[in-house]
Amino acid sequence: ELGQWPFTEGPGFGAARNPYDLERTPGGSSGGSAAAVAAGLVPAAIGSDGAGSVRIPAAWCGLVGIKPSRGLVPGGGWFDLFHGLSTNGPLARDTADAALLLDVLADTGTRHADAARSGADPARGPGRLRIGVSFATPWFVPGKVHPDVRSAVLRVADVLRGLGHEVIEAEPDHGLAGMAFLPRGTNGVRRGLASLGPGAVVEGRTREHARLGGLLGGPLLRGAKALEPLLAGRMAKVYERVDVLLAPTTARPALRVGHFDGRSYWPTGTGIEAACPFAFPWNVVGWPGINVPAGTSAGGVPLGAQLLGRAGDEPGLLALAAQLETVERWHERRPDDAALAAAASG
């Protein structure tokens, strides 16, 4: 509801399911879009990313998912509800399709698609980069990473070394990113709920979330916005050492459908922080990030890694993702046909 959670289920519409394992969520909040692409219903789709809602379902469904720089893709009033946190972005099976859809959304000709094609060209590629591997989470946000996720990210780092890049450890200084995020996100839910009208049927935790947004409005909301340039300055220092950051997209493999059933706002919120602590700082500062498939868990569900850059770095990130795809071949992976047939039959 209202783009709040990294799962796509609720009493109003039931549960979207992950084509790779029907007992698991495709992620969220753009989980329906990701599930449709992963299942082969459509070649690409659009999601919105206010705290990872494109990148998280891309990770759990084995897709390329792009959160563009703030302002690259025109948005309407809905995105203003979240005070600059949210932007639209593409989900696709391969980097070239995601880049092409990004160009359509941003009305930029073929600039990003050309960057992806260049990256996939062995004679050109993205050039030799210094890539920083990061497992850091913001202050007060849990940082425990599932062993399968850690192994997947480190494996991608090794692949990047094999492609000729220098890979080092590099941790960004997230500062008070959580404090800068919370008033903007909760106030967005408050305003979103108000836009539905007094008769809207929503979960109790959505109303709790909206009430918190009311408490965190006014001076706290203005203070959260004022923190952004300070945070951006602190986070940008890591790019004095590296060109790109490589980080987990989520801390855990895809959760089971119903994992948060019956939970109120606070247990749901702390649970999703533990599962998905890595994406939201880039929404706070408005910089781009791309999820790339990073392999599968021991249970056979997809895992993802983020390529993270500074504002306007989409062409470089896409060139790197396309180069990685030439050896990883993730676009050739498909969910089990029997599982999809079972899903279609209900």
Residue 108 to residues 22, 68, 101, 322: CA-CA distances in angstroms? 37, 13, 10, 19
| pLDDT on residue 141 | 86
Instruction: Specify the length of the chain in residues.
Output: 346
| pLDDT on residue 345 | 55
Beta-bridge mates of residue 231: none
Q: Residue 90 has which token pair?
A: 């593409």
| pLDDT on residue 344 | 57
Sort 242 into a burial class: Cβ within 10 Å, 0-12 / 13-18 / 19+.
buried
Q: Are 83 and 213 in contact (CB under 8 A)?
A: no
Distance CA 346, CA 341 (A): 9
Q: Residue 4 has which token pair?
A: 């709040």
Distance CA 231, CA 84 (A): 15
Give the SS3 label for residue 54. Answer: coil
| pLDDT on residue 222 | 94
| pLDDT on residue 337 | 67
| pLDDT on residue 127 | 95
Give the SS3 label for residue 285. Answer: helix
| pLDDT per residue of the chain (346 residues) written in tens, 0 to 9 | 889 999 999 887 899 999 999 999 999 999 999 999 999 999 999 999 999 999 999 999 999 999 999 999 998 766 677 999 999 999 999 999 999 999 999 999 999 999 999 999 988 999 999 999 999 998 888 889 999 999 999 999 999 999 999 999 999 999 999 999 999 999 999 999 999 888 888 999 999 999 999 999 999 999 999 999 999 999 999 999 999 999 999 999 999 999 999 999 999 999 999 999 999 999 999 999 999 999 999 999 999 999 999 999 999 999 999 999 999 999 999 998 656 665 555 5
Distance CA 268, CA 9 (A): 13
| pLDDT on residue 80 | 77
